[in-house]
Amino acid sequence: MWVDPRNFPRDACAIGAALDHLGDRWTLLVLRETFFGVRRFEELRRNTGAARNILADRLGRLVDAGILRREQYSDRPPRDEYRLTEKGLDLYPVLITLANWGTKWGDFELGPAIALQHRACGAVVQPALTCPECGEAIDARSMRVVPGPAMVAAAAAADDASG
């Protein structure tokens, strides 16, 4: 069954599912900081500029989603720090891609504020998306959307329901 990807049930959308957890500025800034190694509430507040209530809310959502985990570092007074889970670590390419876009299209006269150094070899790199089959760099012009299993199943269910 062919399904036109421009016209399919949007409840099967992976981007929408990701945005349910990541869809605002504060959440992405918290993630930026955790990838930089910042773990404590006050440091996160200082570095993001988020109000206490907003930061507490975003941290709670990220913990509830399994992206961050709380780990107690002090008994008196009780204090937690926030660490990335495996699910959280899988967001690294998302943050790097956003940073690449911001560097290219932002107004940075002196260049980017940070560089990324590969721990294994020490090279300073600019990560890029590549095709795992041929190694060619990929961008929007070199790719096309084709139906995936969720889209096909959702379209089949919609067909069955209509008739």
Residue 119, pLDDT > 90, answer yes
Query: Which domains are delineated in the chain?
Result: 10-90 (1.10.10.10)
Helix 25-35 with 14-22: angle, nearest 10 deg: 80
- In this prediction the pTM is 0.84
- Tell me the three state secondary structure of residue 74: strand
Percent of the chain with pLDDT over 70: 93
